[in-house]
Amino acid sequence: MRLFGKLIATLTIMVLLVLTIGLALLHTRHAAPVIGQLTQALSNYQFDAEAISYTITDPWHLTIEQPTVIEPNQQVHQAQQVQLWLAPRETLLAWFGLTSSSNPTPSNQTQPAVPLWYFDSILITDVDITQAEQPNHEPSQAQYQSQFPAIFTHRLALKQMNLTTPRFTLHNGQVQLDNWQPSATFWGNFSGDFRIAAPQINWQQHTFTDLLVDGEKTGGHQAEEAWRIYGYSFDWLGTSINGQAHFLPDSRQWILDQITVANLQFESTLTTHQLAQQAHDLIATTLNQASDHNDDSHQAATTLTIGRLDVVDSQIELADLSLNQLNLSLLNWQQGDSYWQQNDSQLSLSADSVLWHETLFDGPLLDLRFTPDTIFIEGLSSKVWQGYLRTKGQVTPKAIHLNQLTLNNIKAFLPPQWSTQIATLFAPYEAIDIQTLDVGYLQLTDTNPKQPFQLSGVNIDGNTLRIKQGKRYGLWQGKITANAGFASIHTVELVEPYISTHSQAGNWQLDQLTLPFKNGLLEATGQWALSQSAQPWQVKVTTDSAPLSILQQWLGLPLPLEGKVDSSIALSGLAHNRTSFNYSLEGAIQADFRDTHLISTPAAFSQQLANWRLNQSQFSAQAQPKQRVRLAAQSRSQPNFSADALPSSAPSLIAISPLTITSDRGRIVLQPFQIKNAEIQAILEGQWDLVQPQKQKLRLNVAQSCHQFERLWQYQQPPESVSLSSCDGNSI
């Protein structure tokens, strides 16, 4: 026993002597070489330093000036200063193979072995860290693991750090990580609180400034790591962005609990769709890169959910959309899903102005709620076209259902191709319903030279309307009444026109159509059974002293006449398709004309006939060879009408015989229709069969002074014209 006691005492004295010598060396210039030799002996790292500072009054604190560490792969790490605060109790327990509640235990092979050195804190100042591109054939996790020293620190802090990775760079940053130890991953393993701050970071060719991130990470295995960002903030191009977020490992889901974007000034030549696609691709790429760090390839892809997004006082300029002083809130939005796939998401928007498809909306307010396959319009209102718009309802991929649509005091000049744009906009929808339609003092102007019109003081009331069903427009359900203070359709003026129409289950009834002219009237009634397969229809129209100009202005008939017409029209048929229409057209048109006269002078009218002949000669170039020869001969024999050879004053009156057109199952007959006065006489007659168009024949004879003109229209043949003249002995 005496020998054993001497042995223990001797060992104790030697340990104390070694510790005394070691502590003494730490106070001399030999400290750095000694620690370098010790590091190389205990690990496969090389170490060097300018100086090492130690004081016995703070025995577990060591300061290393300008250290250099060389990894086994010869990668060099340098810093201005490293300060170490050793955790002696945990280190001793690790040396003797004992466990402590604070000692981490690796959960899989990607984590390092149980540490042998424990530190309360490690502070590294002024360090440059670079992560190289990963090679195609990365070393095994075990190879990485063998290169890392077996250490653990309750807090790792880096100051004045410059970090460069293949994906981003960080300048003069500060990083604090709790419970950190090196591992096979670039960042190592840590759990607990973390903090990142940097005056500048570059990512995806964008520069972000004043970055600050505070958060916490829990969990051991990487697939089980849960993250919570208590707060993040940064500036981008003058825009302030901040918020909170967390990550759910079970569902592999990042949730942006709150993100606020203030004073955004964004301008791009992209369209709304193109920008949305780019944003989607960028987010998807970023999430995929984040998933790449997960060592379990069987894990589901990472997704992103926006808990709340607020855009405040922002300006956005795109190719097809401009928003000024935008304020927007978006709740519970699932990135990657279309707006038809969202589950109880909400969007609220307000702005000073919005320019969309060349239409300016002043002070718009919009509230939307998104559910699967349905978007609820909780409210939409805006000043537009000097008036006001308000609506609410819901939209599905195939239908629009509006509970209310109100338009007041709108004054609009319709853009070119407006009807095509509207048809394109609503083409995807098979049904359009409006529960309550209220239009007041509407004014519309279309300057299209082919069919210009102006409507002023329009008032429309509608209830339980269905205006589109099965991709076919019409009044399928509901009732509409409308009137206007004034209207002009292709230069024909109307005073207080009125219409009343209703439909029940697809049986569309035109109850009353009244078009008052300046000194005349047009009235009409009708019906159209839209819901029946054959779609039978009928219409009745009467006119009393209607202006004769409607024949030319509305129907396109080349008759330069003015006067009044009293008419009665009764037509019926089937509208299922063109064939059923051709076979079923029945009815008659009767018209009597009064106070008629030519709009142009006889000379101008004669020149018009000559122009018809000239157009016919030009058209004959596309006819068959024999026809071209015959028509060319006719063209050479055509006399040249001269304004000097005919009277220049218009005749006072011209007589027009009653017009009678009848149809029997698509066989139409035009009774001889005569226009004449002392100087001109014209007769138009003919017949055609809608079922057998080859029987079509329409003939026009015009005689004026010594000139005579005849034109014949037949099926699939160019019009034939013959001109005869006895002037100056010419008779052809």
In this predicted structure, the answer to whether residue 377 has a pLDDT above a threshold of 80 is yes
The pLDDT-based confidence of 347 (bands split at 50, 70, 90) is very high
Q: Is the pLDDT of residue 633 over 70?
A: no
Are the beta carbons of 480 and 501 closer than 8 angstroms?
Answer: yes
Res 635: pLDDT: 43
pLDDT digits (tens, 9 = 90+) for 237-295: 889 999 999 988 888 888 999 999 999 998 888 888 888 888 888 887 777 766 555 54
Residue 6 reports pLDDT greater than 60: no
Pairing assessment for the beta strands 151-164 and 117-130 based on DSSP bridges = parallel
Q: Which of 103-112, 323-332, 547-556, 699-708 has the lowest mean pLDDT?
A: 103-112
Measure the CA angle with vertex 63, ends 60 and 66; round to 5°.
155
Percent of the chain with pLDDT over 70: 76
Query: What is the residue type of 85?
Result: W
How is the chain split into domains, by residue range?
A: 40-131+148-236, 251-292+299-384, 399-504, 604-729
Q: Is the pLDDT of residue 407 over 70?
A: yes
Per-residue confidence band for 354, with pLDDT thresholds at 50, 70 and 90: very high
Give the CA distances from residue 472 to residues 423, 528, 690, 721, in Å, rounded to whole numbers and listed in that order: 11, 13, 24, 42
- Residue 650: per-residue pLDDT: 47
For 675, phi then psi, to 5°, come to -125, 125
How many percent of the chain have pLDDT more than 90? 32
Q: Is pLDDT at 731 greater than 60 in this prediction?
A: no
Residue 109 confidence (pLDDT) = 40
Q: Which two tokens stand for residue 461?
A: 């009331």
Two structure tokens written together for 398: 């195939």
**pLDDT range class, residue 137, cuts 50, 70, 90:** very low
- Segment 442-499, tens digit of pLDDT: 999 988 888 888 999 999 999 999 999 988 899 999 999 999 999 888 888 889 999 9
| Backbone dihedral region for residue 210 (phi beyond 0: left; psi -120 to 50: alpha; all else: beta) | left
pLDDT of residue 644: 40
Predicted local distance difference test score (pLDDT) of residue 630: 44
pTM, 2 dp: 0.77
Q: What is the mean pLDDT of residues 356-366?
A: 91
Q: Does an H or E element contain 628, and which?
A: helix 625-637
Q: Which of 56-60, 408-412, 640-644 has the lowest mean pLDDT?
A: 640-644
3-state secondary structure of 552: helix
Q: Answer yes or no: is pLDDT of 732 > 70.
A: no
User: What average pLDDT does range 98-110 have in this prediction?
Assistant: 51
Mean pLDDT of 127-138: 65
Residue recorded with tokens 């149980």: 114
Rank 218-222, 529-533, 615-619 by mean pLDDT and report only the highest.
529-533
Look at 199 and 712; give whichever has higher pLDDT: 199
Backbone φ and ψ of 584, nearest 5°: -110, -5
Determine the pLDDT at residue 475: 94
Q: Is the C-alpha dihedral spanning 140, 143, 147, 148 positive or negative?
A: positive
Query: Would you say residue 168 has pLDDT above 70?
Result: yes
Yes or no: say if 179 and 191 are a contact pair by the CB < 8 Å rule. yes
pLDDT (average), residues 376-387: 94
What is the mean pLDDT of the segment spanning 611-619? Answer: 46
Residue 235 has pLDDT above 50, yes or no: yes
Give the three-class secondary structure for 78. Answer: strand
For residue 19, pLDDT over 50 is answered with no
Alpha helix segments (H runs only) across 538-683: 550-553, 578-584, 602-619, 625-637
